[in-house]
Amino acid sequence: MAEEVVIGSMREASELVADAKVADVKALFDTHVNDGKVIVVVEGDDDKYVYEKVFDPAAVCFYVDGDCEKHFVILDALNSRYANRMLAIKDADFDLLEGRVHPYPNMVLTDAHDTEGMIVEECLPELKGDDAVRCCGITLAPIYAELMEISYLKWYNHTTHSGLNFKNVIPDMDFARYFSTVVSNTNNIVTVTLADVASFKGSNLGAPEKQLCNGHDILERIYVRAKAVNVANFHKKKFFKRLRLAYPKDKFVNTNLFRAIKVWEDANGHSILAVA
């Protein structure tokens, strides 16, 4: 019988999970089918749908770690040996707004807040059939405007480490109600006030919308508009997947992310992109 592993703290639990992610990636390098391939670490399966279109499948193997914080754990553990065969794509989140620079030459950032925010404008015109009918006329400018208060709240939370929990809270255009829902969704004591957020926003006006607004929130607002055309038989997650898959891969060459990957390719002697 195997010896029981006793986890004595949340920190120990986190370290065990982190070690498992490192072990997963190490195993990919040790698998002969991946000989010569680059391991591309992405945050989620949704991101993988997009990047599979723009990378050469014969040259890469994707690993989904589920959380950008795991990127740091994996790179810290494995870069000494595999930095020239491992590339991590991180959602920029608020890094671009804050001028944050990471010390990893093999970690590259999305142009916008996240992958969805980077590609959604190009995806909308590519939709077909019922999706195209539903989304005809949808533009991003009013959606960005709707999401401003929510986005500044999320940036405030990130900057102040206030610990607000936004998970599973759908954007609500009544900001006071949305704020109340987020507070109720948060287990720890919340000292944030609406006045705090308003003051933060006033001090940071003019943030680029694409870098400020969460792409998942943008998709939610697109869905609300598309569903209003015909409420029947319109599954949200399936629509989101079709929207991501509609991304025309030839547009990827216009991104800063593409250029960053090209720099990494040239520096490490790889050819992993499927777009020129």
Write the pLDDT tens digit of every residue in 192-210. Answer: 999 999 999 999 999 999 9
Does 62 lie in the same domain as 127? no
Whether residues 144 and 57 share a domain: the answer is: no
Termini Cα distance of the chain: 55
Q: Are residues 264 and 229 in the same domain?
A: no
In the block, residue with structure tokens 């093999």: 106
Is the residue at 1 inside a domain?
no
pLDDT at 16 (0 to 100): 52
Is there a domain that residue 4 lies in? Answer: no
Identify whether residues 40 and 91 lie together within a single domain.
yes
**Rounded mean pLDDT of 171-189?**
96
Q: Does residue 230 share a domain with residue 261?
A: no
Distance CA(241)–CA(222), nearest Å, equals 13
For the residues 86-93, what does the mean pLDDT come to?
Answer: 98
Asked if 63 and 145 sit in the same domain, the reply is no
149, 195: one domain: yes
Same-domain status, 186 and 221: yes
Domain count across the chain: 2
Q: Are residues 85 and 162 in the same domain?
A: no
Quick one: average pLDDT of 5-22?
A: 55
Is residue 273 a part of any domain in this protein?
no
Arithmetic mean of pLDDT, 199-222 = 97
Asked if 103 and 135 sit in the same domain, the reply is: no
Shared-domain flag, residues 132 and 239: yes
pLDDT band at 276 (very low <50, low <70, confident <90, very high): confident
Assess if residue 276 is contained within a domain: no
Whether residue 274 is contained in a domain is answered as no
Question: Could you tell me if 130 and 243 lie in one domain?
Answer: yes
DSSP code string of 207-250 = --HHHHS-HHHHHHHHHHHHHHH--SS--HHHHHHHHHHT--GG
Q: What's the pTM?
A: 0.90
Q: Is position 175 within any domain? A: yes
Domain carrying residue 209? 118-247
In a domain, residue 2? The reply is no
pLDDT (0 to 100) of residue 19:
82
Percent of the residues in the chain that have a pLDDT greater than 90, as a whole number: 89
Asked if pLDDT for residue 10 goes beyond 80, the answer is: no
Residue 67: inside a domain: yes
Given a cut of 70, whether residue 6 has pLDDT beyond it is: no
pLDDT tens, position by position, 144-154: 999 999 999 99
Which pairs with CB-CB distance under 8 Å and at least 24 residues apart come from 225-229? Answer: 225/135, 225/138, 226/131, 226/134, 226/135, 226/138, 227/134, 229/133, 229/134
